[in-house]
Amino acid sequence: MYTLLIADDEPLIRNGVKKIIDWESLGFSKIFLAEDGQEALDIIRENHVDLVLTDIVMPFMDGLELSEILAKEFPQIHVVILTGHEEFEYAQKSVSLGVKNYILKPIGAENLYKKMVQICEKLHIENKQRQYVSSMKNQLRQSMPVLREQTLKKIVCSENRDINLYLARAKNMNIDLENGTYEVGILDFDLEKFTPADYDLYLFAAQNITRECLGEEHYIFEDGKDRVVILFKSDTAGADMHDIFYDTLCSIQKTITDTIQLKTTCAIGETAYSANELNHAYWSAKKALECKYSLGSDAVYDIADLNYLEKSFYYPGTELHQLIKGIKIGDEEQIHESINQAFHAGGSISGKNIKMIYIEIVTSLLKELSELKEVSEKIWKWGFDLYQYFEGFRSVADLEEELYRFACEICIQMNSVQANSGMQVIDKVKDFVMRNYKNPELSLSMAAEEASVSMGYLSGLFKKESGTNFVKYLTDVRMEKSIQLLRTTDMKVYEIAYETGFSNPHYFSISFKKYTGMSPSEFKTKD
């Protein structure tokens, strides 16, 4: 709904304009009346007015003076001049004062109504525009913290960006990064003991604590990895600033841990002497954060700590060998010990060295996995995903545990494949024996050759899978066949001996008595 003000020193015209039109139907809920320009101005300054109908010639303050003031103080108000024929040229000059329109006297109801309909349409459009602009401004105000964080994230954390463009955007948001010296710090939180639903709550709390510790002159934002980045600004440069920021991070880390029991690891990178160096400072802080893998979490690390660690380098050749051996023999204790030693045998090493060892172990495990047949897609995906998991681990203990789990899974898969293939070998050998037991030359070496395995492997496998050795199994087969022949044929003992693979009938008799407890002749007589 709109508000109207009618200003005219003639009561007849003033009241007539008010009555000849149904203003409510046009959307006007309130109408003010004024005898002159000064009274009209006083009313407008105390009340919201959308439309002013004013005469030109009035005492104290005429319509043009009123229009000029309204154009400066209330430019959103529509002003319509009421004028006679003799004042027409004079009225035209009012256009330069922001007057939207004018109406000639005498005023007719029809003409006035048409004119008001046109003006109301404009009021409606302008009102919609104002509402939209107001809504956009409100949204912008609400979104400003997010926009500020996004802009800071682009400037500090992103390598591929137009630094000048984002610096200009930052300046429009009252973030001036063009002058000064900066320290960049990262806060990394141990959120594993919390549910995902609580992450945002603890991050919010940690950010609030950080802001309280820092003050308004510094900037904090998230880097998208559940980490908080601090942009510490100073007008002066030097080692003192770096030391001050380090002490500040120590205070923040302790306060967060003590207040909300959230373990926090902090890292500080190299000093940035311009906005162009902020990205380098951020990445050096990320590198410093790698110290947690070798020196432990819940502490504050400087890039200098990492530089010290990187002077040493360790390659776990022996440990990798023991790891693969443990997998092949199915020794989970050896697997666990080998992985643990790979990361700790070299003493305190850098995060880069730890990452190298991690990748070497993953690669070795995948190589062993590749030698197996019919490995599930799920296990393959797990193995290849491990290459991407490193950044997500909070500690060396966590990555050791994941590698151990994967290595044990490979061990299970390997045992399963070996068991299946072993049974296939045994079945093949037993079939070979059943077809060739009559051959007195039949031996373990012949069976191994038939199965395409080594004698040593077949000997151990046969014992494991069959519960007896190959020679005894062969003898047992020959004895059972000889018993069958003694029972069903009239063959002589020596004939049966030759038929069942014995080149010496005497040795056959000895073996038969040992197997049955009686000689072949006694056995035949018994039956």
Rounded distance, CA 155 to CA 167, Å?
Answer: 7
What does the buried/exposed string (b/e) look like for 29-58 if buried means 16 or more CB atoms within 10 Å of the residue's CB? eebbbbbbbbbbbebbeeeebbbbbbbbeb
SS3 24: helix
Q: ∠ CA(356), CA(357), CA(361), 5° rounding?
A: 120
Q: E strand or H helix at 140, and its extent? A: helix 109-157
Give the CB-side neighbour count of residue 74, counting CA atoms within 13 A. Answer: 21
Per-residue pLDDT of the chain (527 residues), as tens digits, is: 889 999 999 998 889 888 888 888 888 989 999 999 999 999 999 999 999 998 888 888 988 888 889 888 998 888 888 876 555 565 556 555 556 577 777 777 777 888 888 888 888 888 888 888 877 777 767 777 788 888 888 888 888 778 888 888 888 888 878 777 889 999 998 877 777 778 788 888 888 899 888 877 788 888 877 789 999 887 665 557 888 888 888 999 899 988 988 888 999 988 888 888 999 999 989 888 887 776 778 888 888 777 666 656 777 888 888 888 888 777 888 899 989 888 887 676 667 778 888 888 888 888 888 877 667 788 888 888 888 777 777 778 888 898 999 888 888 877 665 555 667 778 888 899 999 999 999 998 888 888 776 777 788 888 888 888 998 999 999 999 999 998 888 888 889 889 999 988 888 888 888 888 888 888 887 75
Tokens standing for residue 78: 């529509």
Which of 47, 95, 97, 36 lies closest to 71, judged by CA? 97
Answer whether 272's CB lies under 8 Å from 181's CB: yes
Name the burial class of residue 22, with classes exposed (0-12), middle (13-18) and buried (19+) by CB atoms within 10 angstroms of its CB: exposed
Tokens standing for residue 468: 């007896």
Beta pairing partners, 182? 233, 272
Which of 421, 337, 332 lies closest to 371, judged by CA? 421
Q: What is the structure's pLDDT at 288?
A: 85
Answer whether 374's CB lies under 8 Å from 391's CB: no
Tokens standing for residue 98: 């922001």
Tokens standing for residue 334: 């050896």
Q: What is the structure's pLDDT at 526?
A: 73
| DSSP codes of every residue in 453-508 | S-HHHHHHHHHHHHSS-HHHHHHHHHHHHHHHHHHH----HHHHHHHTT-S-HHHH
Q: What is the structure's pLDDT at 366?
A: 85
DSSP 330: T
Sign of the Cα torsion 259, 261, 262, 268 reads positive
Give residues with Cβ within 8 angstroms of 342, minimum separation 6: 316, 319, 320, 323, 357, 361
Answer whether 56's CB lies under 8 Å from 79's CB: no
Rounded distance, CA 78 to CA 71, Å?
Answer: 9
Q: What is the structure's pLDDT at 88?
A: 54
Q: What is the structure's pLDDT at 235?
A: 65
Rounded distance, CA 190 to CA 393, Å?
Answer: 10
Rounded distance, CA 164 to CA 169, Å?
Answer: 9
| DSSP codes of every residue in 49-106 | -SEEEEESS-SSS-HHHHHHHHHHH-TTSEEEEEE-GGGHHHHHGGGGGT--EEEESS
Q: What is the structure's pLDDT at 524?
A: 81
Answer whether 379's CB lies under 8 Å from 369's CB: yes
Name the burial class of residue 149, with classes exposed (0-12), middle (13-18) and buried (19+) by CB atoms within 10 angstroms of its CB: middle
Q: Residue 25: count other Cβ atoms within 10 Å of its Cβ.
A: 10
Q: What is the structure's pLDDT at 298?
A: 83
Give the CB-side neighbour count of residue 495, counting CA atoms within 13 A. Answer: 6
SS3 184: strand
Query: CA separation (Å) from 8 to 40, 53, 75, 173, 464?
Result: 9, 8, 21, 48, 117
170 phi-psi bin (left φ>0, alpha ψ -120 to 50, beta other):
alpha
SS3 436: helix
- Residue carrying the six token digits 């400087």: 302
SS3 301: strand
Q: What is the structure's pLDDT at 5?
A: 95
What is the maximum span of the chain, computed from C-alpha positions, in angstroms?
A: 157
Q: How far apart are the first and last CA of the chain?
A: 122
